[in-house]
Amino acid sequence: MFEKLRHFLPIFLFITSLFPHLEATQNRQIKVIVFDFGGVIAKTDKQQVAHFIAEMLHLSESEAFHALAELKIYTNHEKKEEDFWTEYATIKEIVLPTDWMEKLAEARLRALRPIPGMVALVKVLQEQGYQTALLSNVRKSQAEIKRKLGYYELFNPLLLSYDIGAKKPNREAYELLLNELKVPPEAVLFIDNKLQNVLAARDLQIDAVLFLNADQLIQELKNRGINPPLPHRAQEGFSIEACTKLKTS
């Protein structure tokens, strides 16, 4: 019997590692709720962006997706996106439009979609007195799009990886966050859609939630004594314009 149960122990330990201990959660006085952006607040429709690149550069969509994957690797090494496309065009023997970066930025802007219910949830938490902050891995070109749409107006402070010089899940990113917030880890709740980022936060004694959707997050908040009274329509999700009345130009 013991031998059979022993095989399930690693799985059990992995599952329990995803959730904070109930007692530790109950003893916390959360003051700041820190959000990731991509996949939590909004998400880019990569299919739409790849389709745009394929049409503009006369590539197949599979080639366009491959180019986006190469771009991510390239910029992860602190290189500029403009340089990537210049090098890519040279290798592929194609001519980039003179306003290529502007057109690509416009395509990304059109492809950015809010996660249903999340903008409304952030605003309700603010109304309840919680400070809402952002810790996001993002390129400067991506950040400019989100700033233009007004998403970043929801958060204070903003810690963007290209600006602070550190990325999640590196410990330095979370230390910079705590230093900026000037509160102890016990006062912070961190929300991210990537497990490695959640576990890295917990290593610093920050309570963290692995994000799936707005309904799941609301339940996680309730488990911590935070009860956002969302109106019915906000739970269904609005466009960013309807939720926040943010600028769109």
User: So where are the chain's domains?
Assistant: 22-41+115-244, 45-112
Residue 73 has pLDDT above 60, yes or no: yes
The pLDDT confidence band at residue 89, using thresholds 50, 70 and 90, is very high
Residue 60 has pLDDT above 80, yes or no: yes
The pLDDT confidence band at residue 234, using thresholds 50, 70 and 90, is very low
Specify the pLDDT at position 57. 94
Look up the pTM and report it: 0.77
Specify the pLDDT at position 79. 85
Place of tokens 């530790």: 24
Digit-coded pLDDT (tens) for 181-217: 999 999 999 999 999 999 999 999 999 999 999 999 9
Query: What average pLDDT score do residues 105-129 get?
Result: 93
Q: How far is CA 94 from CA 85, 99, 143, in A?
A: 10, 15, 27
Q: Which CATH architecture has domain 22-41+115-244?
A: 3-Layer(aba) Sandwich (3.40)
Specify the pLDDT at position 13. 40
The share of the chain scoring above pLDDT 90, in percent, equals 69
The pLDDT confidence band at residue 54, using thresholds 50, 70 and 90, is very high
Query: What average pLDDT score do residues 34-54 get?
Result: 95
Residue with the larger pLDDT of the pair 80 and 152 = 152
